Amino acid sequence: MKAVQQRRSLRSLFGVTVVALAMTGSAATGAAAAPADSEVETLHWASIEEYSSAAGISEEEVVSMPDMKLPDKFRVRADDGSVSDVLSSEEFGGDHTAGSLPDLDPGGGNDGKWWSVVWGGRDWNATYVPLRLGNADLGYRHYNVRHNLTSIDPFKAALKAHGPNAQSNYTALLVDSNLGVRETVVFGVQMATRTSDGRYVSPDGAYIGVITGYCKGKSKCPNAVNRVRVS
């Protein structure tokens, strides 16, 4: 009965037909039946809290699941249910070319200082967490070239949680049509107005916010993470 309830919850959350959610002991592998050659996977974002709650397993177990290989071709399902044309995981599809700077949030300052806000959002506890422009030490400038993470959509997805975990991380999962986790993107945050080393203090009184972002187990994120949107 519990497994049936979990599958129904996953259908409701992800809006897909659940083929299987394979379990090994108490942890999910996240690997479901592979699609037929004629099918193209559809990828979308989910926060780690959304996924763990729906699957009935802990966030620690989700983190320990190995990521599956990204498909060469895929579609993107937006939050509104629309599906994109077929995309290639090898093509860069972010809003900006790697290394360029994004448009700044008009409400977060546009003077190009490290504390200027690229995007800011609230988690499920209504805590405001900014992604600042940053510099070599923190924020967007710190990770966009180093880790090939140029889209802000994974961070938007990661904030669909009640707060960071014990390691001060928010995490987004790139999930396929069969609930396999294809990529795990981690955002380390500073939930204070001053960095732990005391070098930076936010002049706007909000939290420092994002320190870094990266794909788990990789020095560079694949281009696909910059192509999947949160609507």
Candidates 4, 38, 37, 35; CA nearest to 21 is 4
Contacts 24+ apart (CB under 8 A), 130-135: 130/206, 130/207, 130/208, 130/209, 130/210, 131/155, 131/209, 131/210, 132/108, 132/208, 132/209, 132/210, 133/101, 133/104, 134/210
Terminal C-alpha separation, the chain: 34
Residue that wins the pLDDT comparison between 163 and 36 = 163
> pLDDT tens across 120-141, in order?
999 999 999 999 999 989 999 8
The mean per-residue pLDDT over the stretch 33-62 comes to: 78
The two tokens of residue 48 are: 């780690």
> pLDDT value at position 82?
76
Candidates 146, 105, 138; CA nearest to 209 is 138
Range list of H helices, the chain: 2-14, 48-55, 59-64, 139-143, 153-158
pLDDT at 80 over 90: no
| Beta strand residue intervals within 25-72, DSSP E | 27-28, 41-47
Burial 30-58 (b: 16+ CB within 10 A, else e): bbbeeeeeeebbbbbbbbbbbbbbbbbbe
The mean per-residue pLDDT over the stretch 151-171 comes to: 94
The mean per-residue pLDDT over the stretch 157-165 comes to: 96
Percent of the chain whose pLDDT exceeds 90: 38
The two tokens of residue 117 are: 């806000």
> pLDDT value at position 73?
82
Chain mean pLDDT for the chain? 77
In this prediction, residue 2 has a pLDDT band, given cuts at 50, 70 and 90, of very low
pLDDT at 85 over 90: no
The answer to whether the beta carbons of residues 108 and 129 sit under 8 Å apart is no
Q: What are phi and psi of 113, to 5 degrees?
A: -75, 165
pTM: 0.77
